[in-house]
Chains A and B, each alone.
Chain A
């Protein structure tokens, strides 16, 4: 197999396995549907380019997420308005709950997406990994955060989500 076939093959494999996860990741970084479509295209394109250098030093999943987060974080930096303030998980934890859980899953998804979009890129990487069901070790590999740091952030994420999605849920029910 030549280099180009290998690059194409890896891309197809990644797109099959992680295509949906990448779409969800793009939602966490971009609220506007039109821009989100562009972001997905950019991530896919950069992922395909990156496979020229794939050397199996890390797993395919870690590779895919690292590239995707890098492209998406650059997108956030590029698109960010100077007066917008992204917050850390710590700051988000202190913010009041802004609404109750709705019966409609789509509304809850919008609320969850908005919550993630308030976060700084590094915290978004952790919360996305958590929501995708990626374990703490793999999250550490993707983000570069130590296991203690990941654990602390996941603890905060659980608190925030519990407060906003379960407490609210009890009111709605």
Chain B
């Protein structure tokens, strides 16, 4: 490529772009440590939402239904959800520290980040989404069986619950489609990185 002296050379355009003097002084960095802690606390609170939904649903189930098998199912969903809280957070905090990133090359650290995200996405399905689906399904089955037990036909019970069932199904399907797509994209990214590593020799 010729070196364009008219200033149309991409390197010249890139290097001459206006920049501000470094705004992140040491005085501004220290408050960032506090900000990071606050952000971590907010994230932890955000992670409590799904288990809270499960506990609320199952708590309702345990309170209103006295059959031991049903109560066991609800209790199982609560335990699953609480275990998920641990496993999901463990995955979340295993992100690479900046010092480790500097000791790894761009290829290594990018690969680790993509793998971490793929693994986290899989864990989210099992430990986050799984208990919610299980709790909802149990609750729907119980409500349907109660409806039928009180003389209502299955068709009638289903009809009465159809708005809720439709919304639930749409939510579950969209969640699955989005997550599976993300998983596929991340896997494709990993395959490409594999190919680059092979070419690297």
Contact = CB atoms under 8 A, between A and B. Distances in A.
Query: Is B truly associated with A?
Result: yes
Given A66-B109, A77-B114, A112-B14, A165 B98 contact: no
Most buried by B among A41, A66, A73, A112: A66
A145 B113 contact: no
Contact of B192 (A88, A125, A162): A88
Q: How would you classify the secondary structure of chain B's contact residues: helix, strand, loop or mixed? A: helix
Contacts of B167: none
A49 B200 contact: no
Nearest to B182: A82
Nearest to B26: A8
A41 B17 CA distance: 19
B106 A15 contact: no
Interface residues of A, number: 63
Given A40-B24, A144-B108, A145-B196, A67 B101 contact: yes
A6 interface: no
Most buried by B among A27, A48, A58: A48
A47 B97 CA distance: 10
B201 interface: yes
Contacts of A47: 98
A72 B64 CA distance: 51
B96 interface: yes
B99 A66 contact: no
Given A52-B99, A109-B14, A45 B24 contact: yes
B102 A122 contact: no
Interface residues of B, number: 55
Contact of A54 (B16, B17, B22, B102): B102
Contact of B105 (A109, A121, A141, A169): A141
B1 A162 contact: yes
B194 interface: no
Interface in B89-111: 95-110
Interface stretch (B5-13, B40-48, B138-146, B157-165): B5-13
Contacts of B110: 69-70, 73, 121-122
Contact of A143 (B9, B107, B185, B192): B107
A119 interface: no
Interface in A84-125: 88, 101, 105, 108-109, 112, 120-122, 125
A156 to B, nearest CB: 12
Contacts of B106: 66, 69-70, 73, 121-122, 125, 142-144
A67 B8 contact: no
Most buried by A among B14, B26, B96, B101: B14
Given A161-B10, A166-B8, A169-B4, 20 more contacts: A15-B24, A20-B22, A45-B29, A48-B26, A54-B102, A66-B104, A67-B98, A67-B101, A70-B98, A70-B104, A73-B110, A74-B113, A82-B181, A121-B110, A131-B15, A144-B107, A145-B196, A146-B201, A165-B4, A166-B4
8 contacts: A24-B14, A66-B102, A69-B110, A73-B110, A74-B113, A101-B8, A133-B15, A144-B106
